[in-house]
Amino acid sequence: MSVMQIELTRPDDWHLHLRDGAAIADVAAATAAVFGRAVVMPNLRPPVTTTAAALAYRERILTALGGAAGFEPLMTLYLTDRTTPGEVAAAAAAGIVGCKLYPAGATTNSDDGVTDLEALSRTLEAMEEHGLPLLVHGEVTDPEVDIFDREAVFIERVLAPVLGRHEGLRVVFEHVTTSEAVEFVASAPARVAATITPQHLLLNRNAILAGGLRPQNYCLPVLKREKHRRALVAAASGGDPSFFLGTDSAPHPRSAKESRCGCAGCYSAPIALALYAEVFSSAGRLDRLEAFASFHGADFYRLPRNRDRVRLVRSPWRVPDAYPFGDDEVVPLRCGEEIGWRVERVEP
């Protein structure tokens, strides 16, 4: 008989985009309703490159939430070719949880990203010294490399070498999408971890391209073949503490996504935990959802685990076609379709 409800320690989202301005209020509440904390990505326009900017952004998020039930945004710095060791020290002292590496041009708002990681060695040394993790968007930007191969090539060309040069550097390989990335992280030392999104666990690349083009399923790194999806499910549900929840919920206004050059990013915040529950339920491993969603990430970031709880109840509902988003709207993953679980907060 299938499990009808489960309770777990309140989860955290270790990779999230909250955007800025009026849109924050529309999307942050969806995350705060379920998750205790979230690692907030710094790819605003202009990017969040200093500790002062990150702390100001944190205040805008908290203001937009109006003090919603104990949600804690965990802030990150956007690495550029000019990030100094002094900025890293200031960030660590201010409670910033990591520095995000976007190879220049890899994804949305990454134009100011890093062009030469080797030239940043003193900054990376400061991160080692302060125990500040490097969060990587793991794709090469070389136009010669096929978009479906960019993650695997990144491992060889960038990730393995930087881990070799910096033996104390802690790294989160964000939103892994391939069996190559899973194998790399599983066999790497404990200082290397990875986040996995709901879309990469549930969908393969047919979900973007077969039977009509579905922009709501288009993100970067792009969805891959079925064999990669299966490797991700095995990693997420396998109990290895190196893998944890990171939605990469990345809302874009419908007008920007459904256009001649549509933005990359899937919006999942309101349904993310329910989507992960579907994945773990179909894998027959609901018993491992809590560790993936609520323990492994906190342990890696050396933060306490949450103490309050949420309940997932098997009770299908229909996901809206769109949610409000500033003066536009955002089309979520699974739009207009059924989802199997509902999330409730458990009163202490």
* 3-state SS class at 165: helix
Asked if residue 134 binds ligand NCD (CB under 6 A), the reply is no
How big is the CA angle at 117 (ends 113 and 118), to the nearest 5 degrees?
155
Q: Is 211 left (phi over 0), alpha (psi -120 to 50) or beta?
A: left
What residue 229 binds from ligand NCD, Zn ion, none (CB within 5 to 8 A, per partner kind)?
A: none
Query: Catalytic site residue 299?
Result: no
| Binds ligand NCD by CB under 6 A, chosen from 9, 31, 43, 51 | 43
Asked if residue 13 binds Zn ion (CB under 5 A), the reply is no
Asked if residue 281 binds ligand NCD (CB under 6 A), the reply is no
217-276 positions binding ligand NCD, by CB under 6 A: 219-220, 248, 250, 264-265
* CA 148 centroid distance within chain: 19
| Binds Zn ion by CB under 5 A, chosen from 112, 151, 248, 278 | 248
First to last CA, the chain: 29
What residue 198 binds from Zn ion, ligand NCD, none (CB within 5 to 8 A, per partner kind)?
A: none
159-188 positions binding ligand NCD, by CB under 6 A: none
Residues 309 and 290: beta-carbon distance below 8 Å: no
Give the pair of three-digit tokens for residue 80: 């550029």
* 3-state SS class at 63: helix
Q: Which residue is nearest to ligand NCD (CB)?
A: 265
Select which of 12, 248, 287, 321 is catalytic: 248
Asked if residue 137 binds ligand NCD (CB under 6 A), the reply is yes
How big is the CA angle at 173 (ends 169 and 178), to the nearest 5 degrees?
145
Binding site for ligand NCD (CB under 6 A): 17, 43, 107-108, 137, 219-220, 248, 250, 264-265
Instruction: Provide the annotated active-site residues.
Output: 248
